[in-house]
Structure 1
Amino acid sequence: VAAIFEEEADALACIGKEKEADRFSELCNMISGRFPSLKGWLASRPLTALEYDRQWPRLLSVLTWLEHYPQPGIYVRQLEVPDVDTKFIEQHKKLLAELLDIILPHNAIDETARGISGFEQRYGFLSKPSQIRFRLLDRDLYIQGLSDLQVPADDFSMLNLPVDKVFITENDINGLAFPSLEKSLVIFGLGYGLDRLARADWLADKKLYYWGDIDTHGFAMLDQMRHFFPHTVSFLMDRQTLMAHQSSWVEEKTQMNRELTRLNPVEHSLYDDLKNDRLAGGVRLEQERISFRHVKKCLENFK
């Protein structure tokens, strides 16, 4: 059964949406009156516009401020907009991003930053500096007695510590427990954030060793590390270590399946076996499951 109405008002009355329609009309006048470029967005997102009914005065205040001060170079906390605090911005990043992408000129948007996590970079706010944590493994290199340090990535890039060897490991506990070693340090806890090291040019003159899980994602991170530092050598990511710890294997539930072009032939052979389940289904040896005795024995070759 179909009902045909000659007047819009009759159709709205039939479905009981007169108030919503009136309010949407008011919102359209208010929003498009300030930002005509949002007319198309309003036409395509009427329910979203109504969902944020009470927030529009503050949303428009934020849009107006950023229209006047694009790429402000301040922290969101420093934003001086009446009745708008950091929590409001955090709670409305997704919607604000949709609107800012429409009202701001292209040169006021960093297109390389995407998603909620990239909000600050995309619209020119300062964000919490990425940190790099490392331990000096040689007591003679301690800085005023300090061995475990964490600094912003920009500060780390300006260092040139008197070490010969630098180890990078995913796991925090591995980094904390890493044995002492002359003229060496260990960086830990970066995960896929290896790009934080990219500007640390001084690492190019050091012997670099990457220690990740023996699974497809571990080799993907080794591949990523070599994008920045091609001379990186893998550490404890070999077939012998994997087979010696067969009782400690767990399942890698989601495997990496892309081609990794920066692995050497031996590494690539193991990666290929892992991604094609030739050893078993979804083999994964997490680095913290490798016996500490095995770690220390392998480090004997570095002394």
Structure 2
Amino acid sequence: MSTDPPRWTTPGDVRTAALRSWNSGELLREATLPTGVHPRRRALKHPTATQLRTNYALAAAWAASWEPAPRACSLEHVSVGANTIGANTLPAAAVFASAGDEILFLGLGREAASFAELFRRLAGVDARLSAWAMLRPLELLKYGQDALTAARVAVWFAENPAPGIYLRQLSLPGVHTKFVESHRRLIDGMLAVLCPERPLGGRNYARRHGFRTGPDRVRVRYLDPAAAPMVGMDDLEMTAAAFAAHPMDIDRIITTENLVNFLALPPAPRTLAVFGGGYGFEGIRNAAWLAGVDVAYWGDIDTHGFHILDQLRSHHPHVRSILMDAETLLAHRDFWGREDAPSHATLTRLDDFENTLYQALKAGTHQRHLRLEQELLRWDWVLARLP
């Protein structure tokens, strides 16, 4: 028979539930544009008649913890035990008349007032951004004045879809291009509301917003010094056009997203290392001569790593993956991290083993939002498995 004390709802439990509503953004949304959620009744688990009889002192202490009612809420009561030990009036629900009351109960009135002012000012930049604020109220509160600046940038991007200038030439009063570079996700979130029809994907931020950019470049390392064009010239950078136009006398390529891994790859006969940098395979996609070369791709073990592999195969179907398997993932549990924004794309160019792992990552089979960055692999493991 269990000797654990009864578990009745405490004011702290109600606070936890209210905090979930705050953290989801619901309370700020309801305080701004009510949808009828309030008045909200949060039911309390209270002592039963049997528990009153066997744990009266404990039950009385619990009831006293609810008196007086917490700030900004009222209590509903119920009569318990009338037919056994005599009627006892106990709290049965905490009721919040409005979202504002639930916010005051949490002690977050100042934050809610700041949000209301930011919401008003954001709508003044562009009324359509009110919809973005309702989608991401805590983001507006978090970024504050920076969100208003980002809104001005997003509106300019919406009105100038193909500016044809370099991003550094953007002239908005009080906006430095470094601000744009450090708030790209915030700006794009607003732009998605302003221009829902505009595609926002792609690696090169400036290019996908219509700005001029320099030519794509490719960095390569000859892992076989004898294959280099000149003695000592084993680490080179060139335009993508030059890479595509001049086939190299090698048998194998290893392309990797991480610079340190690119630099640390060991010597190998007639092998070229290529630095990709995330979705940056644009530099090699037009190199038709790769069709006659063994090409290996080494990326992070996360959904985006497999997405990059899938896209790379759209240009070079024979590309194979290395060190992107379940064995490698499970051997490095101590280094598992979190992928903040997983891809949910349907990928059609993965082999059966790759697709099984990709589906497991999407489903959170091993861990939700799991990511294993390639630079965290133990180097002895890497060296033993490099092709």
Out of 335, 348, 351, the position equivalent to 1:261 is 348
**Alpha-carbon distance, 1:113 to partner:** 10
- Give 1 or 2: higher helix fraction: 1
Structure 1 equivalent of residue 206 of structure 2: 117
Unaligned runs of 5+ in 1: 1-46, 49-70, 78-85, 93-110
**Alpha-carbon distance, 1:143 to partner:** 2.5
**Alpha-carbon distance, 1:197 to partner:** 1.4
**Alpha-carbon distance, 1:119 to partner:** 8.0
Structure 2 equivalent of residue 292 of structure 1: 379
Structure 2 equivalent of residue 28 of structure 1: none
- Map residues 1-303 of structure 1 onto 2, 5 A cutoff: 89-91=169-171, 117-118=206-207, 127-144=213-230, 145-299=232-386, 302=387
The residue type paired with residue 205 of structure 1 is: G
The residue type paired with residue 335 of structure 2 is: S
Higher relative contact order (CA 8 A, sep 6+): 1
The residue type paired with residue 128 of structure 1 is: G
Maintained 8 Å contact 2:224/2:270 = yes
Maintained 8 Å contact 1:164/1:184 = yes
Structure 2 equivalent of residue 43 of structure 1: none
Distance (Å, rounded) in 1 between the aligned partners of 2:327 and 2:348:
22
**Alpha-carbon distance, 1:254 to partner:** 1.5
Maintained 8 Å contact 2:206/2:213 = no
The residue type paired with residue 118 of structure 1 is: R
Any idea what SS the aligned residue of 1:150 has? strand
Identify if the C-alpha distance between structure 1 residues 257 and 113 changes in structure 2 by more than 3 Å, giving closer, same or farther: closer
Any idea what SS the aligned residue of 1:151 has? strand
Maintained 8 Å contact 2:216/2:282 = no
Q: Which runs of 4+ in 1 moved over 3 A?
A: 111-116
**Alpha-carbon distance, 1:231 to partner:** 0.5
The residue type paired with residue 169 of structure 1 is: T
Identify if the C-alpha distance between structure 1 residues 275 and 152 changes in structure 2 by more than 3 Å, giving closer, same or farther: same
Identify if the C-alpha distance between structure 1 residues 273 and 76 changes in structure 2 by more than 3 Å, giving closer, same or farther: closer
**Which of the pair has more CA radius of gyration?**
2
The residue type paired with residue 171 of structure 2 is: Q
Identify if the C-alpha distance between structure 1 residues 90 and 182 changes in structure 2 by more than 3 Å, giving closer, same or farther: same
Maintained 8 Å contact 1:132/1:190 = no
The residue type paired with residue 130 of structure 1 is: D
**Alpha-carbon distance, 1:91 to partner:** 2.0
Maintained 8 Å contact 1:169/1:187 = yes
Q: Percent identity?
A: 35
The residue type paired with residue 322 of structure 2 is: F
Unaligned runs of 5+ in 2: 1-124, 127-161, 173-197
Distance (Å, rounded) in 1 between the aligned partners of 2:301 and 2:208:
34
Any idea what SS the aligned residue of 1:91 has? coil
Q: How many residues align?
A: 201
Maintained 8 Å contact 2:207/2:213 = no
Any idea what SS the aligned residue of 2:248 has? coil
Identify if the C-alpha distance between structure 1 residues 294 and 116 changes in structure 2 by more than 3 Å, giving closer, same or farther: closer
TM-score by length of 1: 0.60
**Alpha-carbon distance, 1:142 to partner:** 2.0
**Alpha-carbon distance, 1:183 to partner:** 0.5
**Alpha-carbon distance, 1:90 to partner:** 2.7
Distance (Å, rounded) in 1 between the aligned partners of 2:200 and 2:339:
29
Maintained 8 Å contact 1:238/1:267 = yes
